[in-house]
Structures are given as structure tokens and as C-alpha cells.
Amino acid sequence: MKIPIKVLINNKEVKTMVEPRQLLVFLLRDQLRLTGTHIGCDTSSCGACTVHLDGNAVKSCTVLAVQVDGRSVHTIESMAGSALHPIQEGFKEEHGLQCGFCTPGMIMTTANLLRTCPNPSEHQIREALEGNICRCTGYHNIIKAVQYAADKLQKEVKHV
């Protein structure tokens, strides 16, 4: 039996009906057509499905849609404004992707890191991205992309 939920998704209120067994990632992708959030391993290992729940990175393949009722979800679609978000720009400039499948998850986890730790060391970046698996890049350019974003975001803060 479907039950009603009300969720703030990318700052827009969404009221919908879901089966209790509906996973958050399917609500986002299939019902709301927010297909930037990817399904990789489907076993909470790879991190391709990472979104923010009340500001914290979570794996949406292992969260039920009913669990986010009354809460706020941000997906990769919320990152860019008229220009790319500095984290997205970092991945582009530093070649932090090849096939791009893991990138939305990488970017959402990076955003979670840079919110709590604006100037991370290489070790802190690698540790923060433990739950995001990339099969193309070997990670080195991803680290550079995160460093690029951290630098740019800190400069932006200084200007304000």
C-alpha cells in the first residue's frame, strides 16, 4: 500500500505516494526523473548514488523513500547554477573523470567534505572518498580536482 510523503528535494517541495519498499534512488531517478544520481553497485559500496540528506552525504540505494519524509534531499542537479559549481569545475579542469559514471557521487561526497573541512590534506581527501569507487582514473586526478575546488571555494569566501 502506498503512503504519502512530503520531501524537500533540491529546495522544492515534493508531495508524492510511495510504496514503503521504494528506495530513495528510485524515487529520484524513476519518479522525479533526476537521473544524475546513478546506481552502481546497489549494495552501498560504490557511492555512485550519493546524495545529501539534511546536508549529509548518504547512499540513496540504501535509504527508503519513506525515511526522508519531512526532510531535505539535495542531488547533483542542485550543484550548478548558471555556471558549474567549483567542485564540478575542478573535475573538468583537472580531468577528474573519464567515463563519468562515478562523478555525481564523487562531487556530492566532496561537497560534504569541503563543508566540514574546507582545506583538506591529501590524506583527508582520500579518506573522505573511501566510499566512492572509480574504475577509470586511478583517483590521482580526483584528488587534484578536490584540491582545485577547495582552493577556489576558499578564494570565493575571502572575497565575500
Site residues for other proteins per CB under 8 A:
1, 3, 19-21, 23, 26, 41-47, 50, 53, 56-59, 62-64, 66-67, 69, 109, 112-113, 128, 130-133
Cβ neighbors of 41 (< 8 A, separation 6 or more) are 48, 61, 133
- Residue 49 CB, nearest approach to other proteins (Å): 9
Distances (CA, A) of 41 to 62, 64, 111, 122, 132: 11, 17, 22, 26, 11
Burial class (CB in 10 A: 0-12, 13-18, 19+), 12: exposed
Task: State which residue, 69 or 151, has the beta carbon closest to other proteins.
Answer: 69
- Residue 82 CB, nearest approach to other proteins (Å): 29
Task: State which residue, 36 or 131, has the beta carbon closest to other proteins.
Answer: 131
- Residue 130 CB, nearest approach to other proteins (Å): 4
